[in-house]
Amino acid sequence: MNEIPPSTSAVAFLGLGVMGNPMAGHLHARGHAVTVYNRTAEKAQHWASGHPGGQWVRTPREAAQSARVVFLCVGNDNDLRSIVYGPEGVLAGLQPGAVLVDHTTASAEVAREFARACSAQGAHFIDAPVSGGQVGAEKGQLTIMCGGDAAVFSQVAPIMQAYGKAVTLMGDSGAGQLTKMVNQICIAGTLQGLSEALNFAQRAGLDAPLVLDVISKGAAQSWQMENRGQTMVEDRFDFGFAVDWMRKDLGLVLAEAKSNGALLPLTALVDQFYAEVQGMGGGRWDTSSLIRRFRKRDDTH
């Protein structure tokens, strides 16, 4: 493929949610000519008005027509297919040699499907789910896990560094999505353990903030403890990665495990715990709200 200059590329970004909006902004700040699309056109208009030189369009096809790299960041497999296929979809405008990069957390199956569809018209595909949440997107400090052809990856990785602190090729198409599933398995287990530990500490009459300060200096330390432990103690969950999104991700994980034979008893259990949190009205709470299950138990006894 022709080399894509990392500092001067015409790019498109489709999906301006809490992740996509700042990610597109980082691309603009690096000097890329950015065209944006969002299903709610007002969001795209607002983004363009705040980024001089940025443009917005009404269809995915228009967004893809002049872009060397097209980035996607939407909700799920169905959302992806709705904007990639059809007469006004991305593929209808994607040019030969262009690269479609998907930052959505989706299935490995849809990643492989898009790789085949792009190849059929002389274009390329990289699945590139991210970790780091809204704060990571805003700070340009995301971890990006990629799947696809190594030569294609080498062309688009410098562009993704506008918002990625670590951009890594994990293997062929689908490998990025599979790595993100591993990431979510780890997060689910860690948050359940942290919830149980803090509930134990409080029931034992310990000073929970002091406990966190002490054990965070030892082997129990984790990102979740450093960034969510104190807010869990304070019962604050109106931020971060939502329970609804985690349940979507864990659904992908469990479906993949059913296919490949991996046993995930803890993950399946935590998924049901998150279903309980949803039943408490916590679908939009941060994923650290698992601890609310214990507090609900206390309230009912």
- Give the length of the chain: 301
Closest C-alpha among 185, 186, 194, 152 to residue 254: 185
- Which two structure tokens, joined as six digits, stand for 14? 């489709």
Catalytic residue (one of 165, 180, 217, 248) = 180
Rounded (10°) angle between helices 175-203 and 243-260 = 120
Tally of CA atoms within 13 A in the half-sphere of 213 that contains its CB: 5
C-alpha distances (whole Å) from 72 to each of 49, 90, 129, 152, 159 are 20, 10, 10, 17, 14
- 83 alpha carbon, distance to own chain's centre: 18
Rounded Cα–Cα distance for residues 159 and 163 (Å): 8
- 109 alpha carbon, distance to own chain's centre: 17
Q: Are 200 and 300 in contact (CB under 8 A)?
A: no
CA angle 52, 57, 61 (to 5 degrees): 135
Dihedral angle of Cα 177, 74, 7, 58, to the nearest 10 degrees: 150
- Which two structure tokens, joined as six digits, stand for 53? 């030189």
- The verdict on whether 165 is a catalytic residue reads no
Rounded Cα–Cα distance for residues 72 and 91 (Å): 12
Residue 5, SS3 per DSSP? coil
The helix (run of H) or strand (run of E) holding residue 143 is strand 142-147
Residues assigned a catalytic role = 180
